[in-house]
Amino acid sequence: MKGSIMMDLGGNNMTLQKKGMHGAWASRWTFIMAATGSAVGLGNMWKFPYVAGSNGGGAFVIIYLLCILMIGVPVMMAEVMIGRQGRQSPINSMKDLVSEHHINRSWLSIGWLGVVAGLLILSFYAVIAGWALKYIFLLASGDLQSASGESASAVFSSLLSDPQGLIFWQTIFLFLCVIVVMGGVKRGLGLAVEILMPVLFVVILLLLIFCIFNTNMADSIKFLFSFNFSDLSGRSILEAMGQAFFTLSIGMGAIMAYGAYMPQDASIGKTVMTVAFFDSLVAIVSGLIIFSIVFSTAGLEPTAGPGLMFISLPIAFGNMSAGLFVGAIFFILVSIAAWSSAISLLEPSVAWLMEERNMGRVQANISIAVIAWILGIGSVLSFNYWQEYKLLGFTYFDFLDFLTSNIMLPLTGLLIAVFVGYIISPRIIDSQMNSNTRWRSSWITLLKFVAPIAILIVFAVGIIDKFGNLS
């Protein structure tokens, strides 16, 4: 009996040592910048504007913002709450909650799914972010001066067909991420976001001012904000739901890990609402910038999808006054957005290794980065040597994208909503959600009934779409 008691005390001491071992954000504002940096990424730069413009413009934007409030914000608040309660990596935060509530250990999957999904996403995200780094130098060097559709496509194709070049830029990008995360919560992540995010907002503002005076901003505003209800359909609502869920980085472990470093006196609700505001603002302003440039160049289509960023925009930059300089600045903006997102994907795995293997932060960082780098080689080869090899109709890159975006993230988000909505102790909710009773009741209602149904629909439609395309 005495030995058993000593073991329990030892286990509790180990847990207490893990809690808070990584430090905390310097302030609530630092957390807001960090969470915004995690949420703002490549999707904000092209996917939201393209989807909005193709699905009713302003009508879609309103539905999207409603979905943010009813789906994205409630689930993000729940994820932050779990992180702040646990004060550890997502895996160990969930382990403590599962133990405290004496429930089935299968709920640990919330932590594991988030951390693994984040690592897998980082592996291919670093490859795509490497393209943005490369394009900074392509535009700055003048290689895309007076670019035509044919030459811009050839430049992009040449990039994808060069595995050594892709690996080089992937490595550079991961190195930049490791340098930041290696510094820890305050001197690394915190300092980085306090610099990167203001720089990102300044660059966006400068580009917006340039576009107002030098491009076709009127058509951009019309494309993005005209209320074309005839273009709005049930499918558009599904698109809005999906975009609202994915844009806030829910289910990747990042927000839960960042929540673990959040000051205890900060309001989770107000903080998450601020993050959602900044994330939506970046998406909308990015759309205005991108489409004002596109509409100023004859022959470019605003519905070009992913090719918009790496083919259509370089054509526009190469054929406008001061375009190469502006283009280089634009891809610096894209790289900063990708960088701030990627460091949040690296941190959860690093935190877990430090807790479980007693690794130093430097060793844990290098270990996770090497794993992400190795996994990323498959994505690199998917665009050249391995492009003919497919699993269930997917290339390696497409399969990882499908697995994370269509299965792991929605599943994790669904489990978070159910866990906090139905299982977690009201005492914990009371201690973490320092808000009025009526507001908290509305949040719980959304988390119990609205968010799970919406996420299930996004989950089902995503799978049906992918496998429907295979038939």
Whole-number Å distance between alpha carbons of 409 and 249: 9
pLDDT at 233: 77
pLDDT at 2: 39
Class of domain 24-470: mainly alpha
Over residues 195-200, the mean pLDDT reads 95
Pure H helices in 313-395: 313-318, 323-357, 361-382
Instruction: Categorize the per-residue pLDDT at 365 as very low, low, confident or very high, splitting at 50, 70 and 90.
Output: very high
Q: Which of 299, 379, 447 is closest to 120 using CA atoms?
A: 379
Token reading at 88: 């550890």
pTM: 0.92
Instruction: Categorize the per-residue pLDDT at 236 as very low, low, confident or very high, splitting at 50, 70 and 90.
Output: confident
Phi and psi for 386 in degrees, rounded to 5? -100, 10
pLDDT at 470: 46
Token reading at 132: 């943005």
Instruction: Categorize the per-residue pLDDT at 17 as very low, low, confident or very high, splitting at 50, 70 and 90.
Output: low
Q: Delimit the domains of the chain by residue range.
A: 24-470
pLDDT at 94: 97
Sign of CA pseudo-dihedral 257, 258, 264, 270: negative
Over residues 311-339, the mean pLDDT reads 92
pLDDT at 9: 39
